[in-house]
Amino acid sequence: MPRISEQDMAQTRQRIVDAASPRFRTDGIDGIGISALMKGAGMTHGGFYNHFASKDALAVAVCEDAFAASLATLARTVDEADPDRPSLAETVADYLSPEHRDMLDGGCPSAALVSDAGRHGPAIQAAYAKGVAGYIAGFDAAQQLEATERNEVLDPEEARRRSIALLSEIVGAILLSRAIRHVDPDLSDEILAVNRQRHDHEC
């Protein structure tokens, strides 16, 4: 029987993560079983435990993978080599867009996985906390760069306070707008629009 290479193992593991990520975001970690997840990945239930010790271990990998992708997008705000570098205000506006609100199986894990992180054990909470810290650090860096470009000095403690408030507000806005989008779409849109306008002036 041919030996499976480490590369093949890594690719298979990533396939499972990729299959689980949209399902966890849409249905919650407890909303789908391992058999259904593995079927979605085109694999058998038994193969799951070759890659993950438990569904919680898979959830940690999904959380880490999703935050890595999301934080890579945020990192563009401080990439001075990028000729199309977006401003922090533009990045926040994209976050607070109807398109992001309606992307239940994708988008930022800070909103999509927040309830699951609170309900599950310390391993998942630690992965989520690391992602939140990454967002705060990214917002800090973007604020500092933009202050420098304006020849201003921004106190690091003030930048951190602003970053924490910004993340809390935009995640809250997405959660509220998602919760009511089917029954009151006008208010859902208004919540996003008010927050976009607010942060367009503040960022």
- Residue 99: the pLDDT is 97
Domains of the chain: 54-202 (1.10.357.10)
The predicted structure's pLDDT at residue 203:
62
CB atoms within 10 A of CB 13: 15
Burial (CB count within 10 angstroms: exposed 0-12, middle 13-18, buried 19+), residue 85:
middle
pLDDT of residue 4: 67
Cβ contacts of 68 within 8 Å, gap of 6 or more: none
| pTM strictly above 0.85 | yes
Q: What pLDDT does 1 receive?
A: 42
pLDDT of residue 73: 93
* pLDDT under 70: residue ranges of the chain: 1-4, 201-203
